[in-house]
A and B are shown apart, each in its own frame.
Chain A
Amino acid sequence: MSEIATATPQGHIEVRNFSLSYETIDGSVEAVTNTHIHVKPGEFVSIVGPSGCGKSTFLNAVAGFLKPTTGTITVDGERVSRPSAERGMVFQQYSLFPWKTVRENVEFGLKMRGMPRSQRERAARTLLGLAGLEAFEKHYPEKLSGGMKQRVGIVRALATGPKVLLLDEPFGALDAQTRVIMQQILTNMWQRLKISVLFVTHDIDEAIFLSDRVYCMTARPGSIKAEIPIPLERPRQQSMMMSSEFLALRRGLMSLIREESLKAMGGEINDLGMQGLNIELHGHSLADVL
Protein backbone atom coordinates (compact mmCIF):
# COMPACT_ATOMS: atom_id res chain seq x y z
CA MET A 1 0.00 0.00 0.00
CA SER A 2 2.64 2.51 1.08
CA GLU A 3 4.56 1.70 -2.08
CA ILE A 4 1.58 2.77 -4.19
CA ALA A 5 0.78 5.78 -2.05
CA THR A 6 4.21 7.35 -2.16
CA ALA A 7 4.95 6.66 -5.83
CA THR A 8 5.99 9.76 -7.74
CA PRO A 9 3.23 11.15 -9.91
CA GLN A 10 3.29 9.70 -13.41
CA GLY A 11 0.80 8.89 -16.08
CA HIS A 12 1.12 11.66 -18.60
CA ILE A 13 -1.51 11.05 -21.28
CA GLU A 14 -0.97 12.70 -24.63
CA VAL A 15 -3.42 12.28 -27.49
CA ARG A 16 -2.58 13.95 -30.79
CA ASN A 17 -4.60 14.34 -33.95
CA PHE A 18 -6.82 11.42 -32.96
CA SER A 19 -9.67 10.16 -35.10
CA LEU A 20 -11.51 6.87 -35.16
CA SER A 21 -13.96 5.51 -37.71
CA TYR A 22 -16.13 2.42 -37.41
CA GLU A 23 -16.48 0.28 -40.52
CA THR A 24 -20.15 -0.52 -41.03
CA ILE A 25 -22.25 -1.90 -43.84
CA ASP A 26 -23.10 1.66 -44.88
CA GLY A 27 -19.46 2.60 -45.12
CA SER A 28 -17.19 4.05 -42.51
CA VAL A 29 -18.72 6.11 -39.73
CA GLU A 30 -16.47 8.69 -38.16
CA ALA A 31 -17.10 8.61 -34.39
CA VAL A 32 -14.29 10.88 -33.22
CA THR A 33 -12.30 13.30 -35.30
CA ASN A 34 -9.26 15.50 -34.97
CA THR A 35 -8.99 15.33 -31.21
CA HIS A 36 -6.10 16.55 -29.08
CA ILE A 37 -6.06 16.19 -25.33
CA HIS A 38 -3.52 15.73 -22.61
CA VAL A 39 -3.61 14.80 -18.96
CA LYS A 40 -0.71 15.85 -16.81
CA PRO A 41 0.65 13.46 -14.18
CA GLY A 42 -1.69 13.40 -11.22
CA GLU A 43 -4.30 15.53 -12.93
CA PHE A 44 -8.04 14.88 -12.87
CA VAL A 45 -9.51 15.57 -16.30
CA SER A 46 -13.07 15.05 -17.46
CA ILE A 47 -14.60 14.83 -20.90
CA VAL A 48 -18.23 15.89 -21.19
CA GLY A 49 -20.38 15.73 -24.26
CA PRO A 50 -23.84 14.74 -25.46
CA SER A 51 -24.53 11.03 -25.64
CA GLY A 52 -23.39 9.39 -28.83
CA CYS A 53 -20.63 11.92 -29.43
CA GLY A 54 -17.86 9.36 -29.15
CA LYS A 55 -16.77 9.60 -25.52
CA SER A 56 -16.72 5.84 -24.97
CA THR A 57 -15.01 5.33 -28.29
CA PHE A 58 -12.30 7.75 -27.29
CA LEU A 59 -11.81 6.24 -23.85
CA ASN A 60 -11.71 2.72 -25.26
CA ALA A 61 -8.95 3.83 -27.60
CA VAL A 62 -6.96 5.28 -24.69
CA ALA A 63 -7.45 1.99 -22.86
CA GLY A 64 -6.08 0.17 -25.90
CA PHE A 65 -9.25 -1.70 -26.93
CA LEU A 66 -9.65 0.22 -30.19
CA LYS A 67 -6.98 1.31 -32.65
CA PRO A 68 -7.01 4.96 -33.70
CA THR A 69 -7.69 5.49 -37.40
CA THR A 70 -5.29 8.40 -37.32
CA GLY A 71 -3.19 9.99 -34.63
CA THR A 72 -1.31 8.76 -31.62
CA ILE A 73 -2.01 8.04 -27.98
CA THR A 74 0.91 7.91 -25.60
CA VAL A 75 1.21 7.44 -21.86
CA ASP A 76 4.53 8.65 -20.44
CA GLY A 77 5.88 8.73 -23.97
CA GLU A 78 4.97 5.09 -24.66
CA ARG A 79 2.56 4.44 -27.44
CA VAL A 80 -0.69 2.66 -26.49
CA SER A 81 -1.13 -0.43 -28.64
CA ARG A 82 -3.12 -2.83 -26.47
CA PRO A 83 -4.85 -2.97 -23.09
CA SER A 84 -2.56 -3.10 -20.12
CA ALA A 85 -2.73 -3.04 -16.35
CA GLU A 86 -0.98 0.35 -16.48
CA ARG A 87 -4.28 1.84 -17.55
CA GLY A 88 -7.02 0.83 -15.15
CA MET A 89 -10.57 1.11 -16.39
CA VAL A 90 -13.95 1.41 -14.69
CA PHE A 91 -17.03 0.72 -16.79
CA GLN A 92 -20.55 2.00 -16.42
CA GLN A 93 -21.92 -1.56 -16.44
CA TYR A 94 -19.94 -2.43 -13.26
CA SER A 95 -18.30 -5.41 -15.02
CA LEU A 96 -17.39 -7.32 -11.88
CA PHE A 97 -16.78 -11.02 -12.40
CA PRO A 98 -19.95 -12.62 -11.01
CA TRP A 99 -18.12 -15.88 -10.27
CA LYS A 100 -15.57 -14.20 -8.04
CA THR A 101 -16.13 -12.84 -4.56
CA VAL A 102 -15.49 -9.17 -3.90
CA ARG A 103 -12.00 -9.91 -2.67
CA GLU A 104 -11.22 -12.25 -5.58
CA ASN A 105 -12.34 -9.52 -7.95
CA VAL A 106 -9.96 -7.05 -6.34
CA GLU A 107 -7.17 -9.63 -6.35
CA PHE A 108 -7.58 -10.39 -10.03
CA GLY A 109 -5.02 -7.91 -11.39
CA LEU A 110 -2.47 -8.97 -8.80
CA LYS A 111 -3.07 -12.61 -9.62
CA MET A 112 -2.45 -11.88 -13.29
CA ARG A 113 0.82 -10.32 -12.26
CA GLY A 114 1.78 -13.53 -10.48
CA MET A 115 1.66 -12.25 -6.93
CA PRO A 116 1.49 -15.10 -4.37
CA ARG A 117 -1.91 -15.75 -2.86
CA SER A 118 -1.28 -14.68 0.72
CA GLN A 119 0.34 -11.45 -0.37
CA ARG A 120 -2.45 -10.46 -2.73
CA GLU A 121 -5.08 -11.37 -0.17
CA ARG A 122 -3.48 -8.94 2.23
CA ALA A 123 -3.27 -6.23 -0.42
CA ALA A 124 -6.91 -6.73 -1.42
CA ARG A 125 -8.05 -6.50 2.21
CA THR A 126 -6.18 -3.27 2.72
CA LEU A 127 -7.72 -1.72 -0.40
CA LEU A 128 -11.21 -2.93 0.49
CA GLY A 129 -10.75 -1.40 3.91
CA LEU A 130 -9.96 1.95 2.33
CA ALA A 131 -13.25 1.83 0.46
CA GLY A 132 -15.21 0.69 3.50
CA LEU A 133 -15.89 -2.70 1.95
CA GLU A 134 -13.98 -5.09 4.21
CA ALA A 135 -17.23 -6.54 5.57
CA PHE A 136 -18.21 -7.64 2.07
CA GLU A 137 -15.01 -9.33 0.94
CA LYS A 138 -16.62 -12.78 0.80
CA HIS A 139 -19.81 -11.63 -0.93
CA TYR A 140 -20.52 -12.31 -4.56
CA PRO A 141 -21.15 -9.13 -6.61
CA GLU A 142 -24.77 -10.08 -7.30
CA LYS A 143 -25.57 -9.41 -3.64
CA LEU A 144 -24.17 -5.87 -3.66
CA SER A 145 -25.91 -2.57 -4.36
CA GLY A 146 -24.90 -0.56 -7.43
CA GLY A 147 -22.80 1.83 -5.40
CA MET A 148 -20.93 -0.98 -3.70
CA LYS A 149 -20.35 -2.74 -7.01
CA GLN A 150 -18.84 0.37 -8.47
CA ARG A 151 -16.67 0.90 -5.39
CA VAL A 152 -15.35 -2.62 -5.90
CA GLY A 153 -14.83 -1.80 -9.59
CA ILE A 154 -12.73 1.24 -8.70
CA VAL A 155 -10.76 -0.64 -6.05
CA ARG A 156 -10.14 -3.47 -8.49
CA ALA A 157 -8.84 -1.08 -11.12
CA LEU A 158 -6.55 0.61 -8.59
CA ALA A 159 -5.23 -2.60 -7.02
CA THR A 160 -2.49 -3.08 -9.61
CA GLY A 161 -1.24 0.47 -9.10
CA PRO A 162 -1.99 1.77 -12.59
CA LYS A 163 -0.48 5.01 -13.88
CA VAL A 164 -3.82 6.27 -15.06
CA LEU A 165 -7.42 5.52 -14.24
CA LEU A 166 -10.02 5.70 -17.01
CA LEU A 167 -13.67 5.91 -16.04
CA ASP A 168 -16.56 5.71 -18.52
CA GLU A 169 -19.67 7.24 -16.94
CA PRO A 170 -19.03 5.14 -13.84
CA PHE A 171 -21.80 6.68 -11.75
CA GLY A 172 -24.37 7.05 -14.52
CA ALA A 173 -26.55 4.22 -13.21
CA LEU A 174 -26.49 5.32 -9.56
CA ASP A 175 -29.05 7.38 -7.67
CA ALA A 176 -28.16 10.97 -6.82
CA GLN A 177 -27.20 10.40 -3.17
CA THR A 178 -25.02 7.41 -3.91
CA ARG A 179 -23.40 9.31 -6.75
CA VAL A 180 -22.33 12.10 -4.41
CA ILE A 181 -20.76 9.61 -2.01
CA MET A 182 -19.00 7.87 -4.88
CA GLN A 183 -17.61 11.15 -6.13
CA GLN A 184 -16.20 11.79 -2.68
CA ILE A 185 -14.63 8.35 -2.52
CA LEU A 186 -13.12 8.71 -5.96
CA THR A 187 -11.68 12.13 -5.12
CA ASN A 188 -10.14 10.81 -1.93
CA MET A 189 -8.59 7.80 -3.61
CA TRP A 190 -7.25 9.95 -6.42
CA GLN A 191 -5.64 12.40 -4.00
CA ARG A 192 -4.16 9.60 -1.98
CA LEU A 193 -2.77 7.62 -4.90
CA LYS A 194 -1.71 10.66 -6.95
CA ILE A 195 -2.58 9.06 -10.27
CA SER A 196 -3.93 10.67 -13.42
CA VAL A 197 -7.63 10.32 -14.04
CA LEU A 198 -9.51 10.62 -17.30
CA PHE A 199 -13.20 10.71 -16.48
CA VAL A 200 -15.99 10.57 -19.04
CA THR A 201 -19.46 11.78 -18.14
CA HIS A 202 -22.46 13.58 -19.52
CA ASP A 203 -23.14 15.13 -16.10
CA ILE A 204 -21.79 18.69 -16.06
CA ASP A 205 -21.97 19.13 -12.28
CA GLU A 206 -20.05 15.95 -11.77
CA ALA A 207 -17.37 17.01 -14.23
CA ILE A 208 -16.90 20.42 -12.58
CA PHE A 209 -17.01 19.07 -9.05
CA LEU A 210 -14.37 16.42 -9.69
CA SER A 211 -11.99 17.90 -12.20
CA ASP A 212 -8.97 20.09 -12.56
CA ARG A 213 -9.87 20.55 -16.20
CA VAL A 214 -12.87 19.72 -18.37
CA TYR A 215 -12.89 19.03 -22.09
CA CYS A 216 -16.17 19.63 -23.85
CA MET A 217 -16.85 17.46 -26.86
CA THR A 218 -18.90 18.29 -29.95
CA ALA A 219 -21.73 16.19 -31.33
CA ARG A 220 -20.74 13.29 -33.58
CA PRO A 221 -18.17 13.14 -35.01
CA GLY A 222 -16.80 14.16 -31.66
CA SER A 223 -13.93 16.55 -31.29
CA ILE A 224 -12.84 18.93 -28.58
CA LYS A 225 -14.92 22.07 -28.65
CA ALA A 226 -13.53 23.73 -25.56
CA GLU A 227 -11.12 23.20 -22.71
CA ILE A 228 -12.18 24.67 -19.37
CA PRO A 229 -9.88 24.86 -16.37
CA ILE A 230 -11.67 24.44 -13.04
CA PRO A 231 -9.93 26.70 -10.55
CA LEU A 232 -12.08 25.65 -7.57
CA GLU A 233 -9.94 24.98 -4.54
CA ARG A 234 -9.55 21.55 -2.96
CA PRO A 235 -10.68 19.79 -0.92
CA ARG A 236 -14.04 20.44 -2.50
CA GLN A 237 -17.21 20.37 -0.48
CA GLN A 238 -20.70 19.63 -1.56
CA SER A 239 -21.64 23.20 -0.53
CA MET A 240 -19.35 24.62 -3.21
CA MET A 241 -21.87 23.57 -5.83
CA MET A 242 -23.92 26.59 -4.78
CA SER A 243 -21.04 29.06 -5.03
CA SER A 244 -21.20 31.74 -7.71
CA GLU A 245 -17.88 30.49 -9.09
CA PHE A 246 -19.28 26.99 -9.57
CA LEU A 247 -22.51 28.27 -11.06
CA ALA A 248 -20.65 30.47 -13.53
CA LEU A 249 -18.59 27.49 -14.72
CA ARG A 250 -21.75 25.46 -14.90
CA ARG A 251 -23.55 28.08 -17.00
CA GLY A 252 -20.66 28.27 -19.42
CA LEU A 253 -20.41 24.52 -19.87
CA MET A 254 -24.17 24.13 -20.03
CA SER A 255 -24.53 26.45 -22.99
CA LEU A 256 -21.68 24.72 -24.83
CA ILE A 257 -23.27 21.33 -24.26
CA ARG A 258 -26.77 22.46 -25.08
CA GLU A 259 -25.65 23.63 -28.50
CA GLU A 260 -24.08 20.25 -29.16
CA SER A 261 -27.02 18.26 -27.83
CA LEU A 262 -29.34 20.18 -30.11
CA LYS A 263 -27.04 19.48 -33.01
CA ALA A 264 -26.96 15.78 -32.11
CA MET A 265 -30.74 15.64 -31.78
CA GLY A 266 -31.24 17.69 -34.90
CA GLY A 267 -29.21 15.14 -36.79
CA GLU A 268 -31.34 12.37 -35.41
CA ILE A 269 -34.56 14.12 -36.26
CA ASN A 270 -33.38 14.76 -39.77
CA ASP A 271 -32.36 11.14 -40.10
CA LEU A 272 -35.78 9.94 -39.04
CA GLY A 273 -37.58 12.53 -41.08
CA MET A 274 -39.47 15.42 -39.57
CA GLN A 275 -42.93 13.98 -40.30
CA GLY A 276 -43.91 13.73 -36.66
CA LEU A 277 -42.98 17.31 -35.99
CA ASN A 278 -44.40 18.94 -39.12
CA ILE A 279 -48.07 19.15 -38.28
CA GLU A 280 -50.19 19.71 -41.36
CA LEU A 281 -52.36 22.69 -40.60
CA HIS A 282 -54.22 22.92 -43.93
CA GLY A 283 -54.20 26.68 -43.99
CA HIS A 284 -55.47 27.06 -40.43
CA SER A 285 -53.38 28.78 -37.88
CA LEU A 286 -52.16 26.82 -34.87
CA ALA A 287 -54.52 28.81 -32.66
CA ASP A 288 -57.53 27.62 -34.70
CA VAL A 289 -56.58 24.01 -34.35
CA LEU A 290 -56.04 24.15 -30.59
Chain B
Amino acid sequence: MPAAAAVTEPSPAPVATPTPASPSFGALAGRWYRLNQDRLRATAIGVISLAAFLLVWHLLTTYRVVFFVRFTNVPSPLAVYASFTKAIHDPKFLMHIVFSCRRIFFGFSLAAIVGVPLGLIMGRFKLVHEVVFPVAEVLRPIPAIAWVPMAIMLWPTNEQSIVFITFLGSFFPILVNTLHGMSLVDPVLVRAAQCLGARERSIFREVYFPASLPHIFTGLTIGMGVAWVSLIAAEMISGQYGIGYFTWEAYSLVQYADIALGMIAIGVLGLGSSLLIRGAGQLVMPWRAK
Protein backbone atom coordinates (compact mmCIF):
# COMPACT_ATOMS: atom_id res chain seq x y z
CA MET B 1 0.00 0.00 0.00
CA PRO B 2 1.21 3.51 -0.68
CA ALA B 3 1.20 4.43 3.01
CA ALA B 4 3.91 1.87 3.61
CA ALA B 5 6.29 3.66 1.32
CA ALA B 6 5.53 6.95 2.99
CA VAL B 7 6.48 5.59 6.39
CA THR B 8 10.13 5.44 5.51
CA GLU B 9 10.06 8.78 3.79
CA PRO B 10 11.48 10.98 6.57
CA SER B 11 15.15 10.23 6.56
CA PRO B 12 16.81 9.55 9.89
CA ALA B 13 18.28 12.64 11.43
CA PRO B 14 21.97 12.94 10.63
CA VAL B 15 24.28 11.63 13.28
CA ALA B 16 27.97 12.40 13.46
CA THR B 17 29.74 9.45 11.88
CA PRO B 18 33.51 9.29 12.05
CA THR B 19 35.05 10.16 8.70
CA PRO B 20 36.76 7.17 7.08
CA ALA B 21 40.20 6.59 8.59
CA SER B 22 42.94 8.09 6.49
CA PRO B 23 45.64 5.60 5.54
CA SER B 24 48.53 7.84 6.53
CA PHE B 25 50.11 6.79 9.80
CA GLY B 26 51.33 10.29 10.56
CA ALA B 27 47.85 11.75 10.21
CA LEU B 28 46.42 9.00 12.39
CA ALA B 29 48.99 9.61 15.11
CA GLY B 30 48.31 13.32 14.92
CA ARG B 31 44.59 12.82 15.30
CA TRP B 32 45.10 10.40 18.15
CA TYR B 33 47.29 12.97 19.86
CA ARG B 34 44.69 15.72 19.46
CA LEU B 35 41.89 13.51 20.75
CA ASN B 36 43.90 12.40 23.77
CA GLN B 37 45.68 15.65 24.47
CA ASP B 38 43.88 16.25 27.76
CA ARG B 39 44.52 12.76 29.02
CA LEU B 40 48.19 12.89 28.05
CA ARG B 41 48.55 16.18 29.84
CA ALA B 42 46.90 14.82 32.97
CA THR B 43 49.17 11.76 32.91
CA ALA B 44 52.29 13.86 32.48
CA ILE B 45 51.35 16.19 35.32
CA GLY B 46 50.43 13.20 37.47
CA VAL B 47 53.86 11.66 36.97
CA ILE B 48 55.59 14.95 37.77
CA SER B 49 53.47 15.40 40.89
CA LEU B 50 54.30 11.92 42.18
CA ALA B 51 58.00 12.48 41.49
CA ALA B 52 57.86 15.75 43.41
CA PHE B 53 56.19 13.97 46.33
CA LEU B 54 58.98 11.39 46.41
CA LEU B 55 61.61 14.10 46.20
CA VAL B 56 60.14 16.06 49.12
CA TRP B 57 59.85 12.87 51.14
CA HIS B 58 63.48 12.05 50.31
CA LEU B 59 64.70 15.52 51.33
CA LEU B 60 62.69 15.62 54.56
CA THR B 61 64.05 12.24 55.68
CA THR B 62 67.68 12.59 54.58
CA TYR B 63 67.96 15.95 56.40
CA ARG B 64 65.88 14.63 59.34
CA VAL B 65 63.78 17.76 59.40
CA VAL B 66 62.11 18.62 62.69
CA PHE B 67 59.52 21.31 62.26
CA PHE B 68 56.48 20.58 64.44
CA VAL B 69 56.48 17.06 62.96
CA ARG B 70 59.61 14.99 63.39
CA PHE B 71 61.12 13.18 60.44
CA THR B 72 63.97 11.82 62.56
CA ASN B 73 62.79 8.20 62.48
CA VAL B 74 60.76 8.31 59.29
CA PRO B 75 62.24 5.94 56.69
CA SER B 76 63.45 7.42 53.42
CA PRO B 77 61.96 6.33 50.07
CA LEU B 78 65.14 4.43 49.31
CA ALA B 79 64.96 2.55 52.60
CA VAL B 80 61.35 1.65 51.88
CA TYR B 81 62.32 0.51 48.41
CA ALA B 82 65.04 -1.67 49.88
CA SER B 83 62.61 -3.27 52.29
CA PHE B 84 60.17 -3.72 49.41
CA THR B 85 62.69 -5.69 47.31
CA LYS B 86 63.39 -7.84 50.34
CA ALA B 87 59.72 -8.32 51.13
CA ILE B 88 58.62 -9.51 47.70
CA HIS B 89 60.94 -12.50 48.08
CA ASP B 90 59.68 -13.13 51.58
CA PRO B 91 56.84 -15.68 51.59
CA LYS B 92 55.68 -14.32 54.94
CA PHE B 93 55.00 -10.84 53.51
CA LEU B 94 53.11 -12.34 50.60
CA MET B 95 51.10 -14.41 53.04
CA HIS B 96 50.11 -11.25 54.93
CA ILE B 97 48.80 -9.84 51.68
CA VAL B 98 47.00 -13.06 50.75
CA PHE B 99 45.33 -13.14 54.16
CA SER B 100 44.11 -9.55 53.89
CA CYS B 101 42.82 -10.06 50.36
CA ARG B 102 41.01 -13.20 51.37
CA ARG B 103 39.31 -11.45 54.28
CA ILE B 104 38.28 -8.59 52.01
CA PHE B 105 37.00 -11.05 49.45
CA PHE B 106 34.82 -12.94 51.89
CA GLY B 107 33.68 -9.96 53.97
CA PHE B 108 32.92 -7.75 50.99
CA SER B 109 31.31 -10.47 48.88
CA LEU B 110 29.07 -11.42 51.77
CA ALA B 111 28.11 -7.78 52.26
CA ALA B 112 27.27 -7.45 48.56
CA ILE B 113 25.38 -10.74 48.43
CA VAL B 114 23.27 -9.75 51.44
CA GLY B 115 23.16 -5.96 51.04
CA VAL B 116 22.14 -5.62 47.40
CA PRO B 117 19.19 -8.05 47.41
CA LEU B 118 18.05 -6.78 50.79
CA GLY B 119 18.14 -3.19 49.52
CA LEU B 120 16.22 -4.17 46.39
CA ILE B 121 13.58 -6.01 48.39
CA MET B 122 13.31 -3.22 50.96
CA GLY B 123 12.86 -0.74 48.15
CA ARG B 124 10.05 -2.76 46.64
CA PHE B 125 8.19 -4.13 49.66
CA LYS B 126 7.11 -1.63 52.24
CA LEU B 127 6.70 -4.13 55.06
CA VAL B 128 10.27 -5.39 54.74
CA HIS B 129 11.44 -1.78 54.73
CA GLU B 130 9.42 -0.96 57.82
CA VAL B 131 10.80 -3.97 59.66
CA VAL B 132 14.47 -3.75 58.66
CA PHE B 133 15.03 -0.02 58.38
CA PRO B 134 14.86 0.95 62.10
CA VAL B 135 17.31 -1.79 63.07
CA ALA B 136 19.65 -0.80 60.26
CA GLU B 137 19.47 2.85 61.27
CA VAL B 138 20.41 2.04 64.86
CA LEU B 139 23.33 -0.22 63.92
CA ARG B 140 24.62 1.89 61.03
CA PRO B 141 26.34 4.68 63.00
CA ILE B 142 28.40 2.17 65.01
CA PRO B 143 31.85 2.09 63.40
CA ALA B 144 32.94 -1.39 62.45
CA ILE B 145 35.99 -1.12 64.76
CA ALA B 146 33.67 -0.69 67.74
CA TRP B 147 32.40 -4.17 66.95
CA VAL B 148 35.79 -5.79 67.55
CA PRO B 149 35.22 -6.93 71.15
CA MET B 150 31.70 -8.07 70.34
CA ALA B 151 32.91 -9.87 67.22
CA ILE B 152 35.53 -11.74 69.23
CA MET B 153 32.80 -12.90 71.61
CA LEU B 154 30.40 -13.78 68.80
CA TRP B 155 32.66 -15.82 66.55
CA PRO B 156 34.64 -18.89 67.50
CA THR B 157 37.75 -18.03 65.50
CA ASN B 158 39.75 -14.87 65.07
CA GLU B 159 39.54 -15.23 61.30
CA GLN B 160 35.75 -15.25 61.37
CA SER B 161 35.53 -12.19 63.57
CA ILE B 162 37.83 -10.20 61.27
CA VAL B 163 35.77 -11.21 58.22
CA PHE B 164 32.67 -10.21 60.18
CA ILE B 165 34.13 -6.75 60.88
CA THR B 166 34.98 -6.33 57.20
CA PHE B 167 31.47 -7.43 56.29
CA LEU B 168 29.91 -4.91 58.67
CA GLY B 169 32.04 -2.09 57.32
CA SER B 170 30.92 -2.57 53.74
CA PHE B 171 27.40 -3.78 54.39
CA PHE B 172 25.74 -0.49 55.32
CA PRO B 173 27.05 1.66 52.47
CA ILE B 174 25.94 -1.04 50.04
CA LEU B 175 22.49 -1.36 51.61
CA VAL B 176 21.87 2.36 51.88
CA ASN B 177 22.96 3.13 48.33
CA THR B 178 20.92 0.28 46.88
CA LEU B 179 17.88 1.59 48.75
CA HIS B 180 18.59 5.09 47.48
CA GLY B 181 18.81 3.77 43.92
CA MET B 182 15.46 2.02 44.32
CA SER B 183 13.82 5.19 45.61
CA LEU B 184 14.94 7.09 42.50
CA VAL B 185 13.57 4.66 39.92
CA ASP B 186 11.53 6.70 37.44
CA PRO B 187 7.87 5.68 37.88
CA VAL B 188 7.23 6.43 34.20
CA LEU B 189 9.61 3.61 33.27
CA VAL B 190 7.67 1.27 35.52
CA ARG B 191 4.46 2.33 33.81
CA ALA B 192 6.03 1.91 30.40
CA ALA B 193 6.98 -1.66 31.32
CA GLN B 194 3.51 -2.35 32.69
CA CYS B 195 1.73 -1.33 29.54
CA LEU B 196 4.12 -3.49 27.54
CA GLY B 197 2.79 -6.47 29.47
CA ALA B 198 5.44 -6.76 32.21
CA ARG B 199 4.31 -8.27 35.49
CA GLU B 200 5.81 -7.75 38.95
CA ARG B 201 8.76 -10.12 38.54
CA SER B 202 9.77 -8.86 35.14
CA ILE B 203 9.47 -5.27 36.28
CA PHE B 204 11.81 -6.04 39.14
CA ARG B 205 14.35 -7.69 36.88
CA GLU B 206 14.00 -5.43 33.85
CA VAL B 207 13.38 -2.04 35.44
CA TYR B 208 14.07 -1.72 39.16
CA PHE B 209 17.31 -3.66 39.13
CA PRO B 210 19.04 -2.07 36.11
CA ALA B 211 17.75 1.37 37.09
CA SER B 212 19.36 0.97 40.52
CA LEU B 213 22.65 -0.39 39.22
CA PRO B 214 24.51 2.95 39.12
CA HIS B 215 23.70 3.52 42.79
CA ILE B 216 24.45 -0.08 43.65
CA PHE B 217 27.92 0.41 42.20
CA THR B 218 28.36 3.64 44.13
CA GLY B 219 27.53 1.61 47.23
CA LEU B 220 29.99 -1.12 46.26
CA THR B 221 32.77 1.42 45.70
CA ILE B 222 32.18 3.13 49.04
CA GLY B 223 31.68 -0.25 50.71
CA MET B 224 35.03 -1.46 49.38
CA GLY B 225 36.76 1.58 50.85
CA VAL B 226 35.16 1.10 54.25
CA ALA B 227 35.90 -2.63 54.09
CA TRP B 228 39.64 -1.87 53.92
CA VAL B 229 39.43 0.67 56.72
CA SER B 230 37.63 -1.82 58.94
CA LEU B 231 39.89 -4.70 57.97
CA ILE B 232 43.12 -2.85 58.75
CA ALA B 233 41.81 -1.68 62.10
CA ALA B 234 40.64 -5.17 63.01
CA GLU B 235 43.97 -6.68 61.95
CA MET B 236 45.91 -4.17 64.00
CA ILE B 237 43.85 -4.99 67.06
CA SER B 238 43.37 -8.72 66.85
CA GLY B 239 45.04 -10.11 63.78
CA GLN B 240 47.72 -12.69 63.47
CA TYR B 241 48.26 -12.22 59.78
CA GLY B 242 47.35 -9.56 57.34
CA ILE B 243 48.85 -6.38 56.03
CA GLY B 244 47.40 -4.34 58.92
CA TYR B 245 49.00 -6.71 61.38
CA PHE B 246 52.27 -6.50 59.41
CA THR B 247 52.27 -2.70 59.67
CA TRP B 248 51.57 -2.70 63.39
CA GLU B 249 54.14 -5.44 64.01
CA ALA B 250 56.77 -3.42 62.14
CA TYR B 251 56.19 -0.60 64.62
CA SER B 252 56.54 -2.94 67.61
CA LEU B 253 59.71 -4.42 66.15
CA VAL B 254 61.12 -0.96 65.37
CA GLN B 255 61.35 -1.73 61.67
CA TYR B 256 60.40 1.68 60.44
CA ALA B 257 60.83 1.04 56.73
CA ASP B 258 58.29 -1.77 56.99
CA ILE B 259 55.72 0.63 58.44
CA ALA B 260 55.80 2.69 55.29
CA LEU B 261 55.92 -0.43 53.15
CA GLY B 262 52.79 -1.73 54.87
CA MET B 263 51.04 1.60 54.39
CA ILE B 264 51.88 1.73 50.72
CA ALA B 265 50.80 -1.88 50.24
CA ILE B 266 47.44 -1.03 51.84
CA GLY B 267 47.07 1.94 49.54
CA VAL B 268 47.88 -0.06 46.44
CA LEU B 269 45.54 -2.89 47.42
CA GLY B 270 42.72 -0.42 48.14
CA LEU B 271 43.26 1.29 44.81
CA GLY B 272 43.38 -2.04 42.99
CA SER B 273 40.15 -3.27 44.50
CA SER B 274 38.28 -0.08 43.71
CA LEU B 275 39.55 -0.26 40.12
CA LEU B 276 38.22 -3.81 39.95
CA ILE B 277 34.80 -2.58 41.00
CA ARG B 278 34.86 0.26 38.53
CA GLY B 279 35.79 -2.20 35.79
CA ALA B 280 32.97 -4.51 36.80
CA GLY B 281 30.60 -1.54 36.74
CA GLN B 282 31.57 -0.65 33.19
CA LEU B 283 31.12 -4.26 32.17
CA VAL B 284 27.66 -4.51 33.73
CA MET B 285 26.45 -1.07 32.63
CA PRO B 286 27.58 -0.67 29.01
CA TRP B 287 24.95 2.04 28.46
CA ARG B 288 26.84 4.35 30.77
CA ALA B 289 30.12 4.02 28.89
CA LYS B 290 31.37 7.35 27.65
Contacts and interface: CB of A to CB of B under 8 A. Distances in A.
A9 interface: no
B188 A140 contact: no
Interface in A248-273: none
A95 B189 contact: yes
Nearest to A89: B195
A142 to B, nearest CB: 7
Interface in B248-288: 285-287
B4 interface: yes
Most buried by B among A109, A184, A188: A188
Interface in B193-217: 193-199, 202, 206-207, 210-211, 213
Most buried by A among B1, B196, B211: B196
A194 to B, nearest CB: 10
B11 A132 contact: yes
Interface string A132-163: 11011000101101011000000011001000
Interface stretch (A14-22, A32-40, A80-88, A203-211): A80-88
Contacts of A148: 12-13
A225 B216 CA distance: 49
A65 B196 contact: no
A156 B8 contact: no
B188 A192 contact: no
A140 B12 contact: no
Nearest to A184: B10
Nearest to A156: B196
B9 A184 contact: yes
A97 interface: yes
Given A97-B207, A185-B7, A89 B12 contact: no
B195 A64 contact: yes
A246 interface: no
B287 A189 contact: no
A83 B7 contact: no
Contact of A108 (B3, B191, B196, B213): B196
A108 B206 contact: yes
A51 B163 CA distance: 58
A235 B207 CA distance: 39
Interface in A177-192: 181, 184-185, 188-189, 191-192
Given A95-B189, A98-B287, A99-B211, A109 B12 contact: no
B6 interface: yes
B213 A99 contact: yes
B184 interface: no
Nearest to B213: A99
Chain A's interface size range is 35 or more
A112 B196 contact: yes
Given A185-B7, A188-B3, A188-B7, A136 B196 contact: no
A64 B15 CA distance: 37
B9 A95 contact: no
B192 interface: yes
Contact of A65 (B1, B15, B191, B198): B191
Nearest to B6: A188
A29 interface: no
A130 B8 contact: yes
A131 interface: yes
B195 A189 contact: no
A97 B195 contact: no
Interface string B108-133: 00000000000000000000000000
Contacts of B4: 130, 188, 192
Contacts of A185: 7, 10
A134 B8 CA distance: 11
A85 B13 contact: no
A93 interface: yes
Contact of B287 (A89, A91, A131, A142): A142
A284 interface: no
A130 B7 contact: yes
B13 A109 contact: no
Contacts of A136: 12, 15
Contact of A84 (B188, B192, B197, B207): B197
Interface in B222-269: none
Contact of A85 (B1, B195, B211, B285): B195
A88 B188 contact: no
A72 B285 CA distance: 43
Contacts of B195: 63-65, 83-85, 87-89, 157
B6 A132 contact: no
A129 interface: yes
A91 B7 contact: no
Nearest to A141: B287
Nearest to B193: A108
Given A60-B191, A112-B199, A157-B196, 13 more contacts: A89-B192, A89-B195, A95-B186, A97-B193, A108-B196, A112-B197, A112-B198, A156-B196, A157-B195, A184-B6, A185-B10, A188-B6, A192-B4
8 contacts: A82-B194, A87-B195, A88-B196, A130-B7, A140-B287, A184-B6, A188-B7, A191-B3
**5 tightest CB-CB pairs across the interface, nearest first?**
A85-B197, A109-B196, A83-B194, A99-B210, A112-B197
Interface of B: 1, 3-4, 6-13, 15, 186, 188-189, 191-199, 202, 206-207, 210-211, 213, 285-287
